[in-house]
Amino acid sequence: MNTGRYIVFNAYMLETANSQLTTFQVYNDLNQLLGNAQLTFYKTINNTLQRTAMAKTDFSGSVQVNLDNNALYLLRATHENYLQKEISFIPTSTSYQVYLTGTALSYTSIFDSIDYYLEPSGSRSLESNTSTDFIFSISDSSNSLEYWGVNISFINDSGMIESYLSNMTISTGGATSLTQITPINKTQINTTFFFKKLGEDKFEIKNQYYVYPQLTASYTLQESFDNYGDEISDLSKVLIAIFLTMALVGITASLFTFNSTLLSLEVLIILGFFTYLGWVQLWLYLLLLTPSIILTFLTRGGQD
């Protein structure tokens, strides 16, 4: 009897180029280093806040963690004898000091009363020249939002920077959106989803969406030959026409009982098509057609 179960485990790997070993020192309100302090690091991945690293300070109150020096992190520092602390930062420095104060009491995180949703989600690729909604939906059960919204900016098809902002002040939250026709040319759209609670720092989520031109075209067979025929020499065109004709005639002869009239008609049609396209000159067409016509008359004469 199998009593095991599957466990889904998500691992977030850092790119070597962006990885930076960062040192953290944790102090109390008496400026004393604290050992056994828990540091938890969160980063927004696919529009969701994900825990990406955890570490505890050693006896000297220090710990080293590899972080992405281009990413915005939320650091949560805890210790059983001190108040929990949260800090939003981008690790541009290789060393940070964190100060914990007071005796541990009940603590409310900035996210405890917050739920939010971002759109577009999932793929960061957008089709060009397409209407796209950039949506930020947020709710705060503590009714303490000062403002929240979304800002987008990009370089338009004229090479100018366009920027749009939706800023809301409803304390309980809601939904806001910016609808934008994506540029035709290849570019990127920079978005910032943000909110500010009373007594807290402004929190931002920055996303980049990439716009790629959609190449769609419809060509007839003749247009395809016209478009790509210029890249082929005249001699190559004639050889292609002859070999293709021989191949098709050979296939027909192997599949059906030999019929000189049918084969001559096939040669007439195939070479005539290439002559119509301009790949075979008319005089060469007639020259190539002559043996087929002679063969037809000879075989019919022999049959009679």
DSSP string of 82-104, one letter each residue: EEEEEEEE---SSEEEEE--SS-
Give the HSE-up count for residue 161: Cα atoms under 13 Å, Cβ half-sphere.
4
Q: Where are the alpha helices (DSSP H) in the chain?
A: 221-229, 234-255, 260-277, 282-303
Q: Of 51, 73, 99, which closes a domain? A: 99
| DSSP category for residue 8 | -
**Looking at the structure, do residues 266 and 236 belong to the same domain, yes or no?**
yes
Per-residue pLDDT, 76: 94
Q: How far is CA 25 from CA 131, 177, 234, in A?
A: 48, 41, 76
| DSSP category for residue 33 | B
Q: How far is CA 146 from CA 65, 161, 167, 201, 203, in A?
A: 34, 28, 10, 11, 12
User: Is the pTM higher than 0.75?
Assistant: no
| Angle (deg, nearest 10), helices 282-303 and 260-277 | 170
CATH of the domain at 191: 2.60.40.730
Q: Of 54, 76, 99, which closes a domain? A: 99
State which residues form the domain around 200.
114-212
Looking at the 3D structure of the chain, how many domains does it have? 3
Three-class SS state of 145:
strand
**Looking at the structure, do residues 202 and 144 belong to the same domain, yes or no?**
yes
All residue ranges of the chain with pLDDT < 70 are 1-17, 103-109, 214-231, 256-261, 263, 292-293, 295-304
**Looking at the structure, do residues 293 and 226 belong to the same domain, yes or no?**
yes
**Looking at the structure, do residues 127 and 200 belong to the same domain, yes or no?**
yes
